[in-house]
Structure formats: C-alpha cells, structure tokens
Amino acid sequence: MRLILLILLIAIGSCGWLDIAQARPGGGHSSSSSSSSHSSSGSGFSWGSHSGSNTSGFSSGSSNSEEITHPMSSLLALVIVIIIVVAIVIVLKNMSRSQTFVVMPTLENRSRQQLGVAQQLTLLKQSDANFSGILFLDFVHSLYSKFYSYSTHPEFSYLSPFLSVDLQQHFQQNAPWQINEVVINGIKWLEYTKQGTEMESLSVHIDANYTLHLQGKHTRYAVQERWQFLRQQGVLSAEPEKMQTLCCPHCGAPAHFTDAGSCEYCGKQVQKGGMQWYLGKRVVLSTTALSSNELVAYAQEQGTQLSTIKQLDLSEQMQRFQELHAYGDWPAFWQSFETEIVRAYFLTIYQHWSQRNWQAARHLLSDRLYEANVFWQNLYAEHDWYNRLDNLQIERVVLVKIETDKYYEAITVRIFAACNDYTEDAQGKLLGGNKKELRHYSEYWTLVRRAGIVQHSKPYSLSQCPQCGAPADNMGQTAECGYCGSKISTGQFSWVLFLITQDEVYEG
C-alpha cells in the first residue's frame, strides 16, 4: 500500500541492487517492503546472534542449496516439495492481493491505539516536564543512524552509554561488512510503561532502509524494528541541545566514550539511564532485501478517501495555543498560517523536489526529513531522472492536531492536493506515472518550531534566512546559515517541516 508513489525500482550501477524510491518526499519508501511480496523470513538475514562469525548469515540463500545436494530420504524430499509448493502459493496470493486490494486498519482501531499511547505520554509529561516528543524522536533518529553506521567500526564504543551491556557487544568489530545510507522512513510511538519501581520504558516502532556492503556487493534492505528505551524513573529530559545530538549528558561534548562509558572530555562516567535514555532491547520484526526489477511502476494512491483523523481535544488545544501566543483572533492566525506557512511551504518544497534541487529547501526542513530524502534525490541524480509534479495545486488544508511542550510546538494539517506526477529522464522520456492525468492525494504534514517564538510582524520570504534575512542560498547540509551562522532546521527561528505521514498510515 503505498502512496502515490511511484514505486521506482532503480538499478544501482552494476552491482545489481535496485531500489524502490518514492515519488514525493516522504512518500514512503517503506512501502518498498510492504508492496513487495517478499517475506522477511524467506530472505534477508537475522541479527539475532551477535557472537561468532555470522557473516554467512548475510547470504542465507546459499545455505539452502547446499542442503539439497545432501543425500536425503524420500520423505524429506516430499516434505521439501510440500514446503516449496506452499511457499509458492503464499507468494502468489500475496502478489495478487497487493495488486487488487489493500487491507487497512480501521479508523476506529487506529485512533484507539493512538489514544492509549497519547494518554501514556501525558502521564510521562506529568513526571518529566521537560519531555518533548519532537526531541525524543530526534534522539532516536541519531542513535539509530549511528548504531548501524558505526556497527563494525571502532566508533561503536562511542555509543556505550546509550546501549545496554548486551547491545554494546552486538556487532563483531572489524567484521567484513559495513552499513551506510541509513534512512528512517517513520517512527511510531508504541508504549510508555513503568518497569518495577525504578525504571521506565518507552518503545517505538522504526521503519527504515539501509545499504549493506559485503565483499563488493551492495544490498539495500527494508527493516521494521521495535526499540525499547529505558531510564530511571524521575529523570528529567535533557535540554534540546543534548537531545538533538548524541553527546555526553554531563558536559555536552560530542559522544566519545570509552567502552566503560567514561566521557573522553570531562572524564565522567555515564551511568546508563541515569540522565539519558538508553536502548534496552531491540527486536527486528522483518528484514527484506529489496529485489531487482527494472520497472518504473506507479502504485495506486491509497488512503485519500479515508476520513480525517483529528485530535480529540483539538478545540481545547486551539484555545490554549491562542492564549499562549495572545492571538486575539483564531481565524486571523489561521489564515496567515495556512497561507504563509502551509501552502507556501508545500508548493516551495515540492517545486524544489521536482527540480531535483532538494538543497534549496534545506532551511524549510528538519534534519531528519532532509537527510531521508536527500538519499532518494541522489538516486534520481545518479540516473539523471526527474520526478515531476506538474500543475501542483492544493485543494484543501484541514487542521488536525496541535501539540505544545516546554521546548516545541507542533501543528499537524492534512493537505489535499493534486498534480501530474510522473518520472522522466533528462531527455524528457517518460519512465512512469502520467503526464496528463491529475493524481489526487492527501498527506499529513507536521510543522514544528521552538516554543516562545514571536510571530514575525511581516511575512518573510521563503527564500530568506528567517534569522538574518539574507538569501537562503548558503545553508549547507546542516542548515546553518552561511551569513549569520544560525542553525535553522531546529525550528528556532521559524517553522520547519518535521514530518510527512501518508494518509493510509497516519494514526493521530
């Protein structure tokens, strides 16, 4: 079930791995795994064992063929034939299902589950007034990326305060493989609970892709994981600067720790869970090797017809937000927010996407969203292809959620839009999609900014730095303004787009 997406299967160079890109930023590469019918149990590898030399685990296919050459009884042969037939039937069924209909969680189920998590997070905020969902997600994102990109490198020990003792030993150092191009497509809240009288835990579901390099071969994987974070009860969350990068919770220096967990700068020993969350447990729910296929196929748009999921106490939140900022009049605030922020950002960001000039949108995006999509933009660039979104028009913007915490405020809207969505090469040859037919779709956009920002008295241009007003043409990869040096992507000076969620997966 993917979005509008064009499920673009791109052959990467000669190494033979293909990837499934999406059309539109945030369009959901994750669908790559759900739309393909491969099951994780059949392909891919397992991280289950961390000891010994499990490099063979990365090529699971070969071990099966070895077994077949062994002498075997006719009974065993029969069993194997039955298994193969059943597997083929399952694969065929899945294939036909993915083409004909889509199973979606009901609106009721989705909102019931999220209501439960929302109540749990409210409880958490009662004991930790510094807790910010936005900042926690940033922390998870940093740790997830480094967990894999450092996996077989000596730098893995830098993560020691943020990993359980078991997980510190998880990867074999100097193993003959490495991972990079880690992209997180989505993080979903699962559960907040107290663990006995001392610890508390917060679990999330992570949907990601990464590339594994082994003996000159590159394989792109789609993974679903459940990560459980732990810390001591009663701990207050760190300030934003210490949540947005992995750093020493004592001195704030970049995370350089010894195996024993001492900071190389201030020398203090960091006790796991004493000041910051650490990863207590991780479960890999599925790992799917993305298959090769030279098709450029557009999947049917899903979820556009689903009813809009609104926060239950939205009107109270609107009231609160209005009082907080002393906006005398909600419609006046809303009109300027919808026009100058939502609509302007939407059109500008997609224009840059379509022109394959993602860097030009850098100052409008959170680090997470920028990085996730720069990967796909690079793939398009490698082939010199363009994902065009012509005649883009916004049909409707609906307010669905307002969240405020000590450090951030977030507004989520559902945007209904339409465009001619297609992919072409640099010579204008159509590779997928449709140049003539308008494609209607909707997405949930979450925009965030730091709490306490005063609204600009006059609207600023999206091509300017919101801090100094200089042209936003020198933002670098990290969104630090080349003129005034301010980091823009944390929402410190103005709204940034934090998250795009497809309508069929949005849960509130």
Q: Which residues bind Zn ion (CB under 5 A)?
A: 248, 250-251, 253, 263, 265-266, 465, 467-468, 470, 481, 483-484
Q: Is 379 exposed, middle or buried (0-12, 13-18, 19+ CB in 10 A)?
A: middle
Map residue 433 onto helix, strand or coil.
Answer: strand
Q: Do 316 and 42 contact (CB within 8 A), yes or no?
A: no
Question: Which region holds residue 124: left if phi is over 0, alpha if psi is between -120 and 50, else beta?
Answer: alpha
Of 450, 494, 25, 449, nearest in space to 481 by CA: 494
| Closest distance of CB 260 from Zn ion, Å | 14
Output the smallest distance, CB 313 to Zn ion, in A: 37
**Least gap, CB of 362 to Zn ion (angstroms):** 12
Q: Which residue in this structure is represented by tokens 């913007």?
A: 397
d(CA 427, CA 228): 48
The minimum distance between CB 242 and Zn ion, in angstroms, equals: 11
50 or 268: CB nearest Zn ion: 268
Quick check: 35 and 94 in contact, CB under 8 A? no
- Rounded Cα gap, residues 149 and 158, in angstroms: 12
Q: Which of 264, 244, 276 is nearest to 162 (CA)?
A: 276
Q: How far apart are CA 433 and CA 322, in angstroms?
A: 43
CB of 195: closest distance to Zn ion in angstroms? 27
How far apart CA 288 and CA 265 sit, in angstroms, is: 40
Q: How far is the CB of 6 from Zn ion (least distance, A)?
A: 36
Question: What is the sign, positive or negative, of the torsion defined by CA atoms of 27, 32, 33, 35?
Answer: positive
Nearest distance from residue 482's CB to Zn ion, in Å?
8
| Shortest CB 451 distance to Zn ion, Å | 21
* Euclidean distance between CA atoms 250 and 1, whole angstroms: 45
Task: Considering the complex, state which of residue 76 and residue 484 has its C-beta at the smaller distance from Zn ion.
Answer: 484
Residues 6+ apart with CB under 8 A from 164: 230, 272, 278, 279, 280, 281
Q: Which residue, 129 or 468, has its beta carbon nearer to Zn ion? A: 468
Minimum CB distance to Zn ion, residue 198 (Å): 24
What minimum distance in Å lies between the beta carbon of 478 and Zn ion?
13
- Under DSSP, the state recorded for 261 is -
Return the half-sphere exposure (C-beta side, CA atoms, 13 A cut-off) of residue 451.
Answer: 16
122 contacts: CB under 8 Å, gap ≥ 6: none
Rounded to a whole number of angstroms, the minimum distance from the CB of residue 23 to Zn ion is: 32
In the complex with Zn ion, the residue whose CB is nearer, 63 or 477, is 477
Structure-token pair, residue 361: 């949108």
How far, in Å, CA of 3 to CA of 304, rounded?
9
Which residue lies nearer to Zn ion by CB, 47 or 483?
A: 483
Whichever of 159 and 465 has its CB closer to Zn ion, that residue is 465
In angstroms, what CA-CA distances link 459 with 113, 332, 412, 470, 497? 39, 14, 21, 15, 17
CB–CB of 195/201 below 8 Å? Answer: yes
Decide if 87 contacts 42 (C-beta within 8 A): yes
- 42 vs 252, which CB is nearer to Zn ion? 252
Nearer to Zn ion by C-beta: 413 or 479?
Answer: 479
Give whichever of 170 and 250 is closer to Zn ion, judged by the CB atom.
Answer: 250
Bridge partners, residue 394, by sequence: 417
Q: Considering the complex, state which of residue 143 and residue 296 has its C-beta at the smaller distance from Zn ion.
A: 143
The β-bridge partners of 447 are 411, 497
* Residue closer to Zn ion (CB basis): 179 or 462: 462
Least Cβ distance, residue 351 to Zn ion (angstroms):
22
CA distance to 105, 385, 424, 430, 438, per residue, from 427 (Å): 42, 9, 8, 9, 22
Q: Which is nearer to Zn ion, 176 or 469 (CB)?
A: 469
Comparing CB distances to Zn ion, the nearer of 9 and 235 is 235
Task: Work out how close the CB of 447 gets to Zn ion at its nearest, in angstroms, rounded to a whole number.
Answer: 20
Find the DSSP H helices in 300-401.
314-324, 330-336, 344-354, 367-383
